[in-house]
Structure 1
Amino acid sequence: MRISQLMIVIAVFALAGAAAVGAAVLAVERIETGSKRQVETELGIAGLDWAQVSVDGLQVTLTGTAPDEATRFRAVALAGKVVDPTRVIDAIRVRPGKAVEPPRFSVEILRNAEGVSLIGLVPSTTDRQAVIARIRAFAGDAPVTELTESADYPVPAGWQAALHFALEALAQLPRSKISVAADEVAVTAITASAAEKRRIEAALQAALPEGVRLSMDISAPRPVVTPFTLRFLIDDAGARFDACTARDEKGRARILAAARAAGLSGEASCTLALGAPSPRWPEAVEMAIGALARLGGGSVTFSDGDVTLVARDTTPPDLFDTVVGELESRLPPAFALHAVLPEPVDTSAGLAGDDKPQFLATLSPEGLLQLRGRVPDQRIRDAVIGFSRARFSGADVYGAMRVDPELPDGWPKRVLAALEALAHLEHGAVVVQPDYVEIRGTTTLEEGKAEISRILSAELGEAENFAIEVRYVPPPEPDEALPSPQDCVDRINGILAAAKITFAPGSADITPEAGDTLDRIAEAMRGCEHVPMEIGGHTDSQGRESMNLRLSQNRADAVLNALLARRVDTRNLSAKGYGETQPIAPNDTEEGREANRRIEFRLIVAETAGDQAPAAEQEGAGQADAASAAQQEARQ
């Protein structure tokens, strides 16, 4: 009986133990399921659906691929909020990051009266000191502020050529902002005149490197014209302007439309300028031109607010009175009209046998200025000759004037005004009479005729009758023919053959002894600015090939900068280093090595499309610091 009871007790304990184990297993499964569900819920709310959760007992393992390291850390941290962080096993992978994009290299250069400043990001191989030296060569004593940063990334194609072009543009534009990138140069600038604006725009377009876009916003401020002048004539030769000035585009269009209605044909220009005496300037000019057309001819001259209308001497008096009366009543308040119906005038230049007082000045193409006619006294005679010698510097002045005390009032002023007008001609003549002034000849100044009108209208005053028969001719081309491109190269290499450009050992520093050679080359470059040439730098074979290549580029760049400092136009010059690749003598003797260390000029000719990369784009060449090169390079 006792044995059976013992067995029963053992069986009861066994069943209890089995039940406890089963309960423990069920409890663990509930914990695992609960932990997994809670962690998955937390991750799902955070939008981290890429993370997978697995549970093994109390351990929670996170797997999957996170987009970045920060997101991986966030998933682990969220799981650690649900369960004990020590139970979380991080098995998450992180997606490989994209390769770092190289930066966009760009520089913004500002130049004004205060100096030059540079800001931006440049390749680490850019010789910033050489850039500053080039700027100082044309900026003079103006301060240069360099605020660029550098980055060690591959130099983009076209960067060096674009930067070189931008510096050349900066040299021509004292008031400018130039933005430089490898594929684009943007120029914003102000020039002194419209003619200069056109010249610079054409020069920049011609010098633009291939593969570089150019955007230009170059403006020319409107000139201040004093007096604000307009002169319109209708005679047997037709209708025309001697001078035309307008306040704005709208006013110019209105003035030209009135002139065409009065008989003007062909092209006509009207300068936009500041200084108009009234906003109603176009309206007043339109009225006056219309009145002149009704009279059938004559001239109308505006000098600020003074309006002088001179009819033809054949105009019927009744018509003259009617038209002038209507015009006088309609003109805006700022304008005062003086109208003249003249007596017939003598426009001949003859003096012999003529009792009417005259003064005649003739300027010959050879530079002989002859002064004839009458002046009121000896003092005025001396003053006219002195003024002529000062105003016509270089001319041979011959005075044959006679004194006439009976000349009308204001005669000296009329004579000096006529001589001032004559000074704007290449050659010609001016005749002064008491009631009439006539000037004839040719001028090489585009605005010469208009300037003569301003002088006569301002100095002679209202009610003065004058005629301008001046023809514009372009300035003559220089007599000396430009040398041929090959002549330019041969001339420079001849100078180098006589005296080399030498450098300090292992560096790109030009020795003082080479200054005379550079001066001679700069002089030889006069007239050769249009020739595309390459400055080639060459070394011997001592030292590493890569260092020799950089040294030769630095030396070629140094020569280019030295010529720029000597005021040579370097737009058609490029610098290229060849290192030791083009020897002209064996490198196993000192004499041969000395011959191989050289600077050569080469004519750049048109090449095939595949070979047109600018020499300035030889990336990696010529950009190392010369001082660093000196520490590593054997003596050159």
Structure 2
Amino acid sequence: MRLSRIGIPVLAFIIAAGLCVLAAFFSVKAVEDSSLEGVETALSLEELDWAEVDVNGLQVFLIGEAPDEAARFEAMTAAGTVVDSARVIDQMLIAESEGIRPPEFSVEILRNDDGISVIGLIPRETDREALIERFTGIAGSSGEVSDLLEIADFPAPEGWREAIDFSMRALRDLPRSKISVSADHIAVKAMTDSESARRRVEGDLRRRTPDGVELALDLSAPRPVITPFTLRFLIDEDGARFDACSADTEAARDRILSAARAAGVPEDANCRLGLGVPSRQWGDAAVMGIKALQELGAGSITFSNADVALLAEEGTDEALFDRVVGELENGLPDLFALNAVLPETPDETDAGPPEFTATLSPEGSVQLRGRINSEIARQTADSLARASFGSEAVYTAARVDETLPASWAARVLAGLEALGELSNGAVRITPDLVSVRGNTGNPDASDEIAALLADKLGEAGEFEIDATYLEKLDASLGIPTPQECVAQIREIVGDRKITFEPGSANLDASTADVIDDIAELLQLCGDFPLEVQGHTDSQGREEMNEQLSQERAQAVLDALRNRRVLTSAYRAVGYGEERPIEDNATEAGREANRRIEFTLVQAEPAEEDSTAPEELEESATEGDTGTDEDGENTEDGSSSDDADSPEEGTGE
């Protein structure tokens, strides 16, 4: 009985406990299923299909790889709308960010008299403080630097540092400029002080543009004052061309060039824009003159301010000449005065006109020959030449001919002034013509010579100009002469040495810097005759030394060629041991004799000049003027090949 009273309650309790456990199990199962289904539905509605859901009792686990942190947070938020966020366990991973595209880094720099403003996005590895310090140094004490830069934590793109350094150099030369910089593109828009400054800066920037960078230049300069305002148009056996062309507006320039091209002028012809035009109808008058000369078929027409001189070709039909000139006189604006000339056919018995010539050589020497009309005129011409070209450079061999016209002296002096505008060339004076031909480093020389002659000779003066622009002669571009290049190579080498591996023609790795510097200079200098000389000491057999020196000279030449130097005019010559500069009996002497020299070789003079030297060489290496083995004076210097003791037979 007692057992029944105890057993029944216990059994009831056990049954009740079992029922509770069973009820709890099914309740938890229901909660899990409900949470799982609800969270999966929420993620599906947010299109977060990459996320997976697992449940364990009241805990909800989010599993999967989120594409980024924002997507992970979005999945957590979606799950929190279904269940208590405290029940959501984050077991998601974030995808690697390697594929994220970096931003476009760029900087825009504005500079004016008030200072510098810089705005843009730069990579974190760029030293912002150092960058601003560089801008401050360029702006100077009177200018301020406005820093509007932002930084992104991404690596700098390739070429970024070189582009920034290049922009800094450009900014120093352009006090009024806007420079837009990215790793592969630089755009420069600026105003320069003059046309010569514009050409100098443009040439310098284009030479220094980093590899792989596209450079866009928009440089402008104030328009020059052209006086006299000149246009000269010719048609002869060589075709139609301008000796000088000036215009006051772009519209007038376009109209003038259009008329000239219709008359046969090449497409690349151009007109200078300038101030000082005598009339706003300059373009109309110039177009009329060009069309009139085109109708005549040959001759020249010259506008000097408002004076117009038309010279027809000998043999032009007189009726055609009268009609064209009459139409031109009636059509020209009132301010312009026309003087038209139809030359008479010369007498066949004429022995030929007298002439005066002045020549200017590339070395700067001037020779005056031919006839001049008085002793005073000859002395005046000689004095002008010496004042223009230097007293020591002028040789006068002109003779006096008092039968020459009174205007002869003025024509000679005008020709000498024109010759002064050339780097080298000649002037020929005849009674009917002043001819100027030669080379110049001034792209506007033809215009300036035409303006000078038109002013000095008057409206009836006939002249012709053939001035060839050569970039290497343009001082505004800063291109050194061959002699200056040779001297600068000597400065570059200085105390450094062009060294080789012992006993071989393989350049030592330490030589790369000096070769790089020489190559950069030679790229600027252009093509000129240069001899790369190899020299050795006297140790070893003479034949082996000569061969080794030749191979080493060729190795230097190849290294320059690999650095994109134009070497078509260069030659490599090995002299072996035949040209020592020190005593081979000492180690220091042998080291000095192992060297590479750079020598400028000028062309041999004409055979008829028997008194001229056969060859002029100027050494471009360090050292003192001395005497070689043959007793000839040379200017020697060297970049020693290597400082190691030579091996037997190597001749190092």
Q: Which TM class, normalised by the smaller chain length? A: 0.5 to 0.7
Alpha-carbon contact 2:321-2:342 (below 8 Å) kept: no
Whole-Å Cα distance in 2 between the matches of residues 324 and 484 of structure 1? 59
Alpha-carbon contact 1:102-1:153 (below 8 Å) kept: no
Whole-Å Cα distance in 1 between the matches of residues 260 and 33 of structure 2? 93
Q: Does 1:420 align with 2:426?
A: no
Whole-Å Cα distance in 1 between the matches of residues 53 and 387 of structure 2? 101
Whole-Å Cα distance in 2 between the matches of residues 570 and 239 of structure 1? 38
Measured at CA, do residues 133 and 385 of structure 1 come closer, stay the same or move farther in structure 2, by a change above 3 Å? farther
Alpha-carbon contact 2:359-2:367 (below 8 Å) kept: yes
Alpha-carbon contact 2:325-2:340 (below 8 Å) kept: no
Alpha-carbon contact 1:66-1:95 (below 8 Å) kept: yes
1:93 aligned residue: 92
Measured at CA, do residues 52 and 232 of structure 1 come closer, stay the same or move farther in structure 2, by a change above 3 Å? closer
Measured at CA, do residues 324 and 169 of structure 1 come closer, stay the same or move farther in structure 2, by a change above 3 Å? same
1:440 aligned residue: 435
Alpha-carbon contact 2:255-2:287 (below 8 Å) kept: no
1:256 aligned residue: 260
Measured at CA, do residues 464 and 345 of structure 1 come closer, stay the same or move farther in structure 2, by a change above 3 Å? farther
Alpha-carbon contact 1:109-1:116 (below 8 Å) kept: no
Measured at CA, do residues 80 and 186 of structure 1 come closer, stay the same or move farther in structure 2, by a change above 3 Å? closer
C-alpha deviation, 1:338, in angstroms: 0.7
1:288 aligned residue: 289
The letter for the 2-side match of 1:307 is V
Measured at CA, do residues 120 and 69 of structure 1 come closer, stay the same or move farther in structure 2, by a change above 3 Å? closer
| Within-5 A mapping of 1:450-469 | 450-460=447-457, 463-468=459-464
- Secondary structure at the counterpart of residue 287 of structure 1: helix
1:536 aligned residue: 510
Alpha-carbon contact 1:111-1:117 (below 8 Å) kept: yes
C-alpha deviation, 1:329, in angstroms: 3.2
TM-score calculated relative to the size of structure 2: 0.51
- Secondary structure at the counterpart of residue 273 of structure 2: coil
The letter for the 1-side match of 2:340 is V
Alpha-carbon contact 2:235-2:299 (below 8 Å) kept: yes
Whole-Å Cα distance in 1 between the matches of residues 166 and 447 of structure 2? 37
The letter for the 2-side match of 1:443 is G
- Secondary structure at the counterpart of residue 292 of structure 1: helix
Q: Does 1:341 align with 2:336?
A: no
Alpha-carbon contact 1:254-1:282 (below 8 Å) kept: no
Greater relative contact order: 1 or 2 (C-alpha under 8 angstroms, separation 6 or more)? 1
| Within-5 A mapping of 1:463-502 | 463-468=459-464, 470=466, 472=468, 495-496=495-496
Alpha-carbon contact 2:132-2:145 (below 8 Å) kept: no
Q: String of CA shifts for 1:562-596, please: whole Å, max 9, x gaps.
A: x99xxx95979xxxxxxxxxxxxxxxxxxxxxxxx
Alpha-carbon contact 1:349-1:431 (below 8 Å) kept: no
Select between 366-375 and 91-100 the one with higher mean Cα deviation. 366-375
The letter for the 1-side match of 2:324 is V
| Within-5 A mapping of 1:154-169 | 162=162, 166=166
Q: String of CA shifts for 1:267-288, please: whole Å, max 9, x gaps.
A: 5853232138578766644432
1:619 aligned residue: none
The letter for the 2-side match of 1:439 is V
TM-score calculated relative to the size of structure 1: 0.52
Whole-Å Cα distance in 1 between the matches of residues 217 and 291 of structure 2? 37
C-alpha deviation, 1:38, in angstroms: 4.9
Measured at CA, do residues 442 and 105 of structure 1 come closer, stay the same or move farther in structure 2, by a change above 3 Å? same
Whole-Å Cα distance in 2 between the matches of residues 291 and 218 of structure 1? 39
| Within-5 A mapping of 1:108-123 | 121=122
- Secondary structure at the counterpart of residue 444 of structure 1: strand
The letter for the 2-side match of 1:90 is I
Whole-Å Cα distance in 1 between the matches of residues 482 and 35 of structure 2? 99
Q: String of CA shifts for 1:217-247, please: whole Å, max 9, x gaps.
A: 2356486472443222346776554334564
Q: Does 1:325 align with 2:326?
A: yes
For this pair of structures, how many residues does the alignment match?
Answer: 481
Measured at CA, do residues 176 and 78 of structure 1 come closer, stay the same or move farther in structure 2, by a change above 3 Å? closer
Measured at CA, do residues 315 and 167 of structure 1 come closer, stay the same or move farther in structure 2, by a change above 3 Å? closer
Measured at CA, do residues 334 and 176 of structure 1 come closer, stay the same or move farther in structure 2, by a change above 3 Å? farther
Alpha-carbon contact 2:309-2:338 (below 8 Å) kept: yes
Whole-Å Cα distance in 1 between the matches of residues 229 and 201 of structure 2? 23
Q: Does 1:309 align with 2:310?
A: yes
- Secondary structure at the counterpart of residue 453 of structure 1: helix
Measured at CA, do residues 116 and 144 of structure 1 come closer, stay the same or move farther in structure 2, by a change above 3 Å? same
Whole-Å Cα distance in 2 between the matches of residues 62 and 300 of structure 1? 95
The letter for the 1-side match of 2:450 is S
Select between 127-136 and 230-239 the one with higher mean Cα deviation. 127-136
Whole-Å Cα distance in 2 between the matches of residues 76 and 154 of structure 1? 32
2:274 aligned residue: 275
Whole-Å Cα distance in 1 between the matches of residues 49 and 172 of structure 2? 62
The letter for the 2-side match of 1:467 is F
CA-atom RMSD in angstroms:
6.7
Measured at CA, do residues 28 and 298 of structure 1 come closer, stay the same or move farther in structure 2, by a change above 3 Å? closer
Measured at CA, do residues 447 and 95 of structure 1 come closer, stay the same or move farther in structure 2, by a change above 3 Å? closer
Measured at CA, do residues 271 and 335 of structure 1 come closer, stay the same or move farther in structure 2, by a change above 3 Å? farther
Structure 1: runs of 5 or more not aligned: 352-359, 498-532, 538-555, 573-601, 614-636
Percent identity reads 26
The letter for the 2-side match of 1:298 is G
2:216 aligned residue: 217
Measured at CA, do residues 431 and 144 of structure 1 come closer, stay the same or move farther in structure 2, by a change above 3 Å? farther
Whole-Å Cα distance in 2 between the matches of residues 130 and 39 of structure 1? 53
Whole-Å Cα distance in 2 between the matches of residues 61 and 257 of structure 1? 85
Measured at CA, do residues 110 and 17 of structure 1 come closer, stay the same or move farther in structure 2, by a change above 3 Å? closer
Whole-Å Cα distance in 2 between the matches of residues 117 and 41 of structure 1? 54
Whole-Å Cα distance in 2 between the matches of residues 164 and 571 of structure 1? 23
C-alpha deviation, 1:467, in angstroms: 2.2
Q: String of CA shifts for 1:191-219, please: whole Å, max 9, x gaps.
A: 846975885587458xx6xxx42323235
| Within-5 A mapping of 1:52-451 | 59-65=58-64, 67=66, 68-86=68-86, 88-90=87-89, 92-99=91-98, 121=122, 124=125, 162=162, 166=166, 170=170, 174=174, 177=179, 179=181, 181=183, 184=184, 186=186, 188=188, 192=195, 203=207, 212-219=211-218, 221=220, 224=224, 226=226, 227-234=228-235, 240-245=241-246, 247=250, 250-251=254-255, 253-260=257-264, 270-275=269-274, 277=277, 284-295=285-296, 297-311=298-312, 318-331=319-332, 333=333, 336-341=336-341, 350=354, 362=358, 366-367=365-366, 372-373=372-373, 390-394=387-391, 396=394, 419-425=416-422, 426=424, 428-429=426-427, 438-445=433-440, 447-451=444-448
- Secondary structure at the counterpart of residue 94 of structure 1: strand
Measured at CA, do residues 286 and 112 of structure 1 come closer, stay the same or move farther in structure 2, by a change above 3 Å? same
Whole-Å Cα distance in 2 between the matches of residues 313 and 424 of structure 1? 30
Alpha-carbon contact 1:305-1:334 (below 8 Å) kept: no
